[in-house]
Structure 1
Amino acid sequence: MNGKLLLLLGLTFLLSSCEKDDICAESTPTTPKVVIEFYDAANPTTAKNVSNLVVTSPDFTKALSPFSGTNKIKVPLKTFQDNTVLHFIQNGGTTLTTDDNLDVLTFSYSRTTSYVSRACGFRTLFSLNTVNPVVLTPDSNNWIQNIVIVQSSIANETETHVKLYF
Structure 2
Amino acid sequence: MTAALRRLSPPSLSQQLRAAPAMTRPLILDIIDNACRRFPSLGQSERTVRVMRLVDAEAWADAALALIELELPMWQVRRIAYDEGEWHCALSRERELPDWLDAAVEARHADLALALLSAFVEVQALAEEASRPSVPTVRPAPDSFYEPVGCENFR
With the length of structure 2 as denominator, give the TM-score of the two structures.
0.26
Bigger share in strand: 1
- Of the two, which has the highest radius of gyration? 1
Bigger fraction of residues in helix:
2
Higher relative contact order (CA 8 A, sep 6+): 1
TM-score after normalising by structure 1:
0.25
